[in-house]
Chain A
Amino acid sequence: MNSIMVADYGYFLLALCFICHLYGTVASLVAAGMRHRRLLRSACWSCVMSTVYCFAAALLLWWALVHHDYSIGYVYKNSSDDLPWFFRISAFWSSLEGSHFLWTLLLGVYTSIALLTYAKENEHLIPYVSASLQAVLAWMFYLALTYSDPFVVQYPLPENGLGMNALLQNMYMMAHPPSLFTGYTALAIPFGYAMAALAYGDITEGWLRTIRHWTLYGWTFLTVGIFLGGRWAYVELGWAGYWAWDPVENSSFLPWLFATALLHSLVVQAKIGHLKRLSIIMAFLAFFFSFFGTFITRSGVISSVHSFAQSPIGPNYLYFLAVLGVVALLLYALRAPSILPADAQKVWGVSKESALVVTQFLLQTFALIVFIGTMYPIASEAITGVRFHVQAPYFNAFAPYIGLAFIVAVAIGNLMRYHKGIVPGGKRVIWLGQLLALPLTLLFSVQGKIFASQGFALWMQLLGVQLSFWAMFCLSYDLWLRFRQVRFQWMPLVRYNQAYLGAYLAHLGLLFAVLGFLGNFRGVDKTVTLNPGDQTSLYGYDFKFERVQVNQVQNATLYTAPLAITASQSGRPLGEVIPARAKYPTADQLFHEVGIHSHFWHDIYVVLSAFTPSESEAVTLQIFINPTVRIVWISVVFMMLGGLVAMFDPSRGRRSRDYAEA
């Protein structure tokens, strides 16, 4: 294929997509007004066709990347001859234009799926769903054609590309952006349905079921995506942590919080019909903040590790956010009163529905704090003229209290029933759970090195660990109760209340995550300079350094300083940890390749701070013992499984089931 053809066809396809979605938006609106079914079908198919075109355009860009076609500016800027094939594929989303493209592609795919597979009972909503989502897509393609064109031609033809950002040449960066974007874009469907509910003027049961599936799908991928990003930071950046409350981390966390809030308000809505309007607002905010996150990443308004260079695309995202906000607000103001109130009268009191309201309150307060902290640089610049960056200490001042409140809410909330108070025997379990949690807390605190902290922090950590284990007991008691209800048989519970099992797993995952966070609040670390043959010890391990080695892995030249680990007391060899620095052909800098030797209770995390390539010279190493990091990575598996299990519940969302359950 002629290389210029790639650029031309690519741009042409994107233009087609833009036109398709413009048509789709207008046709959907007309179809909604005229109740014209065939016109609606045409609008839906125009969206599907656009997605096909967009996919073809994406294949063109991938083709160019894989074949080193540097006549495409994006390929020239983000890849080079030395790049192995799998990074050439992930170079697709390694910078502005490509990741915008991926975002758009995924949004198109999910919109098409949503428009093709809607339930019969939602037919009256589909014109509005189609209109709102296709309007978003049209705007995204407009940006792809103007400010973020991935098919700009590079002239004259360069010999070699500039190379992909070395920090992104990492396995986790192959999975993190697609997963995160899947989460962001899947949350667009609940947004579309929320707008449709407002436009139509009421919420029906089919609405609830559909929105629930999509939210769970988005939530699951968002969770996995956030953790993958953390894992990437942990293995690549070399500061022994995975979450720095960086603006872009925060802006992926905000939609997560709202999606979680949406899931919980949907539960209340399914069971007793209340919180309909809150669900609409949460669905809107979840999508709004996924866009907001994209805006922050792309525009560079708030400097962050993720900000690509300043780009004129920034203000355009901002216009879009403003329009989105105004339209949604107007629609809400005009139409929300028409949404019928719940058919159940006021309930609340000490009950599960109240506990879920508490959850809403906690999630939204947390979101507010994260939002304030993230926007603080802009706000402080506007007010005082000085740009003031808020970093981890600010968030860490609030997060522990919110976290503790979450644990208590999870524990107590799950011991509640709708319309009733606490479950029989619940009060006893609350006290007994505390007692049962004590030995576990002790074990965890010793193994997790929690006694290394001092003063207030120590007490907070101990309290957190104790409450987490206690909450696990409370959750499990509830599970036991439900098993007893079906005479301890698996099948009925799996068949009729699979969603509950999913929630159990996800909540357990959350508690594990909290335990993990508490454990690695304080680790121990040490900086040493070792000559060849030297030995050092830390936390019961001996580390013996032989010499600096050089090896070639893919396109990177690795300078490694392998350390043999032995247990100090028994002298048993435990293996090797290999901290390294990597030199890439297209960058002058040396990049960290952290050496990690992972155990259940702690990671040995070694960073090569300074070295000379000669075999006889000394190296400087930072050795960290990071407790309970493994538990954090395990927790995401629970959350993911929970999300998936709940998603495939066949009956949740049907109102009829609730009668049977009562």
Chain B
Amino acid sequence: MKQCIFWLGLWVSVSTVVQAAPTEASLAVRVEQLSRAKQVLYQQLSDELRCPTCTGLSVLQSDAPFSLQIRATVLEQLEQGKSAAEIRDFFTSRYGLWILRSPPVEGIHLLAWFIPTVIAVVGALAVWIVFWRRRRSSMGERTRSREELVALMQQELEKRRRA
């Protein structure tokens, strides 16, 4: 992770020399110029990439310099007409899967998606079969009426008296 931040830092500093660092305002102006479909794509993609310096936030939600730079790159590639898959590939090949906010659907990471799904399905089936579908057979004490209980107790008392 430290390595990633280092490379990102290098990239940010280099690109700052080449072109002015993007700001929230300059990005907003550029987003305005995109088509509606691409605006949605921009929101979607930058919500999938994590902010490297904050915790828990996507680059869309953060205004840290790193995040603005990543968003600028997403924008740039959208302006060049690249597809969502190409942009995702660009980021994962450059920074690794680390940049993503949810586990990719491949390799060992499949487990993260697989386990909850399997448990949800199997568990639901189990609950259905074991509990819900079973016939009600309520022979518990609650179904005994009070009179019956009283009668039982009196029988018991009677027995003891005889004994």
Contacts and interface: CB of A to CB of B under 8 A. Distances in A.
Partners in one complex: yes
Contact of A391 (B28, B50, B146): B50
Contacts of B103: 376, 380, 388, 390, 394
Given A358-B127, A391-B56, A348 B23 contact: no
B97 interface: yes
A232 to B, nearest CB: 14
A392 interface: yes
A419 B25 contact: no
A659 B142 contact: yes
Contacts of B123: 361, 365
B132 A348 contact: yes
A361 B102 contact: no
Greatest chain A CB density within 10 A among B97, B109, B116 is at B116
Interface stretch (B8-16, B57-65, B77-85, B151-159): B57-65
A610 B23 contact: yes
Contact of B102 (A241, A383, A397, A419): A397
B137 A346 contact: yes
A358 B131 CA distance: 9
A303 interface: yes
Interface residues of A, number: 65
Nearest to A391: B101
B102 A393 contact: yes
Interface in A239-259: 239-241, 244-247
A160 interface: no
Given A244-B56, A344-B142, A609-B63, A349 B101 contact: no
A372 B109 CA distance: 12
A419 B138 contact: yes
Contact of A361 (B97, B124, B143): B124
A609 B24 CA distance: 7
Contacts of B57: 239, 244, 391
Given A376-B103, A609-B63, A620-B23, A350 B136 contact: yes
Greatest chain A CB density within 10 A among B47, B96, B137, B141 is at B141
A612 interface: no
Nearest to A619: B25
Interface in A279-317: 303-305
Interface in B1-43: 1, 23-25, 27-28, 40
A390 B25 contact: no
B102 A349 contact: no
Contacts of B102: 390-391, 393-394, 397
Nearest to B116: A369
Contact of A662 (B27, B40, B62, B142): B142
A529 interface: yes
Contacts of B61: 239-241
B141 A372 contact: no
A527 B43 CA distance: 13
Interface in B104-156: 108-109, 112-113, 115-116, 119-120, 123-124, 127, 130-143, 146
Contacts of A350: 132, 136
B101 A358 contact: no
B135 A386 contact: no
Nearest to A392: B101
A220 interface: no
A46 B85 CA distance: 65
A345 B55 contact: no
Chain B, interface size category, equals: 35 or more
Contacts of A454: 40
Contacts of B101: 389-394
B56 A304 contact: yes
Given A365-B116, A394-B102, A347 B56 contact: no
B98 interface: yes
Contacts of B131: 348-349, 353-354, 357-358
Given A529-B25, A610-B24, A393 B48 contact: yes
Nearest to B27: A527
A37 interface: no
A272 interface: yes
A351 interface: yes
A620 B132 contact: no
A398 B134 CA distance: 29
A239 B62 contact: yes
B112 to A, nearest CB: 6
A619 B142 CA distance: 71
B140 A272 contact: yes
A620 B61 CA distance: 16
A219 to B, nearest CB: 23
Greatest chain A CB density within 10 A among B56, B101, B109, B132 is at B56
Contacts of A343: 140-141
A495 interface: no
Nearest to A304: B55
B127 A610 contact: no
A349 B140 CA distance: 14
Contacts of A351: 136
A528 B98 contact: no
A124 interface: no
Contacts of A393: 47-48, 101-102
Contact of A305 (B56, B62, B115, B140): B56
Nearest to A272: B140
B88 to A, nearest CB: 13
A303 B124 CA distance: 34
A388 B142 CA distance: 53
Contacts of A347: 136-138, 140
B67 to A, nearest CB: 11
Contacts of A572: none
A610 B40 contact: no
Greatest chain B CB density within 10 A among A247, A345, A384, A391 is at A391
A622 interface: yes
19 contacts: A239-B61, A239-B62, A240-B61, A272-B140, A305-B56, A348-B132, A358-B132, A368-B116, A372-B116, A376-B103, A386-B96, A387-B98, A390-B103, A391-B102, A393-B102, A419-B136, A419-B140, A609-B24, A610-B23
Given A354-B127, A397-B113, A419-B136, 19 more contacts: A244-B56, A244-B57, A245-B56, A246-B55, A246-B56, A347-B138, A348-B134, A365-B116, A388-B98, A389-B50, A391-B57, A391-B102, A392-B58, A419-B140, A527-B28, A609-B25, A610-B23, A610-B25, A659-B142
Top 3 closest pairs, chain A to chain B, by CB: A344-B140, A349-B136, A527-B28
